[in-house]
Chains A and B, each alone.
Chain A
Amino acid sequence: MIPEIGHFILILALCVALVQAIIPGMGLLNRRVDWMNVAQPAAVLQFILVLISYSILTYSFIVHDFSVLYIANTSNSELPLIYRISGVWGAHEGSLLLWVLILSAWTAVVAIYSKRYPVDVGAGVTSVLGFISIGFLMFTLFTSNPFERHFPAPVDGADLNPLLQDPAMAIHPPMLYMGYVGFAIPFAFAITALVQGKVDTAWARWVRPWAIGAWVCLTAGITLGSWWAYYELGWGGWWFWDPVENASFMPWLTGTALIHSLAITEKRHALRNWTVLLAILSFSLSLLGTFLVRSGVLTSVHAFATDPTRGIFILIFLGVVIGISLMLFAIRAWQMRTTGSFTLVSREMSLLSNSVLLLIAMLTVLLGTLYPLILEAITGEKISVGPPYFSSVFIPLMVPVVFLVAIGPLMSWRKENLSQLLLKLRQPAIIAVLFASLLLLVLPGKANFTAWFALLLAFWVINNCFALLKQRLRNTNNLSQGLRRIPRGWYGMITAHIGLVMTVIGIGLSSVYSQEQDVYMAPGDDRTLGAYRFEFIDVKKKPGPNYMADVGTIHVYKNDERLMTLHPEKRLYNVRRNVMTEAAIHSNLLRDLYVSLGEPRNLESGSWSVRLYYKPFILWIWLGGLFMVIGGLLAVTDRRYRIEVPDEKLKLDSTHVAAS
C-alpha cells in the first residue's frame, strides 16, 4: 500500500508542476500579477510532494519491501542501512527520482528567494523550472516508475552493485545531480530574460550565485567521482575520458565559462548575448549528459542495462529544450546589443578569450564523445576514440587558459596599458621560471619538460596571485584591516585559481613520474619502484559483513627500513557473487603508494598477480578540486548577494537598478 501512496503523490506532484509551469507563465505573458503569485506556493508544494514520494521510496528500501521491483533489483536484506538509503539512487529509476527531487528543491529555494527579484522575473524562472520538472516527472512516471510492484515478491533482493557500496559513491551522484540540475536555474533566468528582452547588470547579479552554486556542486561531484574511480576501480587511473565522464565534464567547462562571463556582464554590462548563450549551453549539456548515461547508446563503464524507449524520450525532451531555447535566442539576441565596450588588452578580453577557449575545449570533447555515434550512423563503421585523442587536443587548449588565469585579474576593466602590464608581470615571470627550475632539481626522477612546464604554469599563477594581493593592498597601511576589507568573492577567486594550478601540478607531475608494474608475485618476491621496495608476504581469507575477502599482506621498505604494511583486498560479495578489488593506498602530499590484487595464479605456491603503483603528487589533483569548491563557496557567500533589494524596486515593470 505504501509504495502506491508514493506513486500517487508523485502523480500529484506532476499536476502541481503543470500549475507551476503554466499559470505563472501565462501571468508573465499577460502581465497578471495574481497569476504570477501562484509561482511560489506551487513550487514549494511540488517540492513537498516530491520529497514525500522520495521518502516513501527510501522507507520501502529501509524496511526491505522486495515486492517493489526496483528495490528487489537493487537492495538486499544483508545490505547495511547506509547503503539502503544511498541505494535509492543506485540504479536508473531511483536516480531519476533523485533528479526530480533535487530539481524541485532548487526550484523551491529559488521561489523562496524570489522576493528579491521583480515579481515577473521570479514567476518566469519558476515557470521555466516547472516545465523542466514536468518533463522529468513524466519521464519518471511513464518510462521508469520506481514504485512498480511485482508479485509474488521475491524472498530477497538482488543486492546493490558492490561498486556502489562505498561512501564516496554514495555522495557522488547527488553532488553531480545538484550540479547538473543547478544549471537549470541560470537557464531559467536566461529564458525569462529572453522572453522579456532584458538582460542587464541586475540580471547578472541575480544569476551569479546560482551559477556558482551549481558549478560548486558539479566540481565536487566530478572530483569525488574521479577520486572514487582511482581507489575503487583498482586500475589506479583517475580520469578515463569515458563518455559518461565527458558528459559531466562538458557542462563543467561551459559552466566555468558562464560564471566568468557573468562577471563581465555584471561589472561591465558587456557580452550579454554570450552569457545568455553559455547559460543555455550549460543546461543543454547537462541534459545531453543525462541522455548519454540513460540511453545506453555509448559503450561506457557507466552504462546501465537500458530500455530504448527511455533514450528516445530524453532525446525528444533534449530536442524540445535546446530547440526552443536556441530559437528564442536567435529571435531575441540581436535586440540586446552590447553596450559596454572594451579594448584588446583588458580584463574583459582575457575573460572572453578564456571562455572562448573553454567552449572550444568543450566542443572537442563533444566531438570525441559523439564521433563514434555519428560515424556509425553514417557509415555503419564501429570505432572508438581513445584517451590519447582527448589528451592531445585538450591539453594544448588548456595551457593558454591557465596562462591567462594568472594575468586576467591583474588587468583593468575596459583598457589596460600594455607596457604597464608587462612591467607588473616581469617579476612574477622571473620568479616562476626560477622556482620551477629549482624545484625540478629537487624532485625525485629525471628532469622533464612536461613537469617543468606544469610547475612553471603553477608558479606563474601563484606569483600573480601575490602580485594581485599587493595591488589590492597598495592603498592601505594597516594590513589586517586591508585584508578584511577585500570582499569574500575575491578570496574565492584566488582560492579557486590556486585550486586549478594544484590540479595542474598533480596531473603534470603524476603523469610524468608515476611508476607502475603489473607483476606475478609468489610469497617472498619483491619489486622496487622508485625508492620503494614492495615485498609480497601472503594472501589470507577473511570474512566481511556481506562479502568474503582475500586479504593480501605487502611490506613496503624504503632504504631497507620497513615503512608500512599494506593490505589490499579482493572481495567476493555473497549475493551477486561478483568480485571487487579494494586497493590498499597510502597517500601523502608527496606521493601515493598503491597496491591492488589481481587474481590468484597458483594456489599451491600462493602466488598472485599484483599491481604496484608509485604515484607522486597525485593527491594534488583532488585537493585542487577541493580548493575550487571552497573558492566557489566563498564566492557564493559574498555579502553583496545577500543585500536585500528595497521593496519599491520590485514592483512590476520597474526599471532594474543598474549597478555602478
Chain B
Amino acid sequence: MVVKNGLSNIVGTENVIDGNDVPGHYSGDMSFAASVRPQAVVKPNTMEQVQAIVKWANETSTNLIPLSSGPPHFRGDTIPAHEGAVVVDLTRMKKIIRVDRRNRVCMVEPGVTFGELIPALEKEGLAPLITLVPRSHKSVITSFLEREPFTIPRFHWEAQDPLYCVEVIYGSGDMFRTGSAFGPGTLEEQWAAGRAQVRGMGPSQVDFTRLLQGAQGTMGIVTWASIKCRPLPKIKETYLVTSDKLETLIDFAYKILWKKLGEELFIVNSLTLSAILNQDSNKIAEMAGSLPPWILVYSIDGSGLMPQEKVDYQKADSLELAQSFGLELKRVAGGASADDVQKIISRPSTEPYWKLRYRGACHDMLFLTTMDKTPGFIKKMHELAGDGNYPADDMGIYIQPMSQGTNCHIEFNLMIDPENKGLAEKVSRIDSEGCETLAHMGAFFSRPYGPWAKFAFGPDAQTVIALRKVKSIFDPNGIMNPGKLCF
C-alpha cells in the first residue's frame, strides 16, 4: 500500500497496478528468464512523472524495470531479476513530438510503435528505418536503444544508427539530453536556430547516447528520442534472389554492398520468409517446402529528382551482377511474391506475430559476426539442434548486413509448441550450451540477454570493470534493472 500510495501521488491511482492485479506478462515472457512478479506497475505519461518515480525509487530503495513495448516480450530483459521491483510501463507516452522533413528526423516518445509512426511520417514524405517485421506493440525507441538491426544496410552507417539524441532520466534522478540536444538553449530555441537534434555524439568529449544503447534499461529511462528517417520512395521494386547455396547469396550481397546499390537487403531461410508471409502453420510449412533454402530479399527505391532513372540504372547493374553469380532477380519464387514481401516488410507484423505463427512460441538466439562466417555458425546450430533433439527444420534464420556490410546480425528463431514442455527444455539447453559453443567460435553477443551475459562478459574482466564505473556515474544506487548484463 505504501508503494501504491507513493506512486499514485505521482501518476494518479488509475495508473498504478499492484499485487495480484499485476498482469502476468509483466512477470514472465517467452524467454527462459525465471518468472518474478513485480510488486507494482506504474504508467507515467510525462518526463516529469518519470523523474518523480526515479527519485521516489532512490528514496525507497526500490528497483525499477523500464518497459516501452506491449506484450509479448521475448528477451527477459523486462522481467525483474529480484522481488519487490516496480515496472515503469511507458506505453502511455505516445507523442510524436516532431517530424522534420528537411532534416529527415523525427522525435518520438517511448510508447510510439512503428504502426503509429509510419502514417505520421508518410504525411511528411518520410519513412522510418524499420526492423524486420516488428511486432505490432514494439516501441520504436526500444528497438534502436537495443541496437536492433533494420533492413536497409545502406542507411546503417554504424551501430548508433538510426538513433540520434535522447532525453533520459538517469538512475540518479537527473534529467539529461544527449548528443546535440544537450543545449545550448531549450529545444524550442534550438529549433529556431535551425538545429534538429541530428547529432547523436556528445556533448563534448563523451558519447552519452552510446552509453544508453544496449543497456537494457540499466542506466536510466529514456523519455524521447530523435531518430533518423529516410525519404519516402516514389517507386519501389523488390526482388527475391534465391539459391540452394547460402555462400552464393553472401558473395552477391557483398558485391551489392560494395557498389552501394539498393535499399532493403537481407537473407532469410525458407521458413522465416514463409512465416512472415503466411498466417496459418500449414501454409507456412507448405510454402517453406516449395521455396529454395535461401532467399535474399533486395529492393531498389526511386526517390529524389530522377526516381525512375535511378531505379533503371540500379536494376541494370544489379541484373548484371546477379548474372555473374548465376543468380536471378525474381518477382516470384516458390509461391512467394516479391510485392507481397515488400508490403509486409514495410509494416509491423499483423497478429499473431510472425514468429509465433508456426508453432505458437519462439526463442531467438542472436549475435553479431561477419557475413562470410555465417555458414559456419549455421552448420554449428544445426549440429546443436541435432544433438539436442530439436527439429532443425523448425528453425528460422535471418542474416542482416549492418554498418553498410562491415558486420552482420544473425538470428536463429527456434520455433516451438508452448505446450511441449520437453521441447522447451531442449531449446533452453541449446540456448545456454549453444551460446558457449558459438561464443568460442567467435559469435559476438553484443546484446547479451539472460544467460548469454556470462559468455559475453566472461573473457574480459576490464570490460566489466569499465561498465561498472559507468553504471556508478548514472545509477549510483543501482536501482535500474539490477541483475541484467554485468550489474
A and B pair up: no
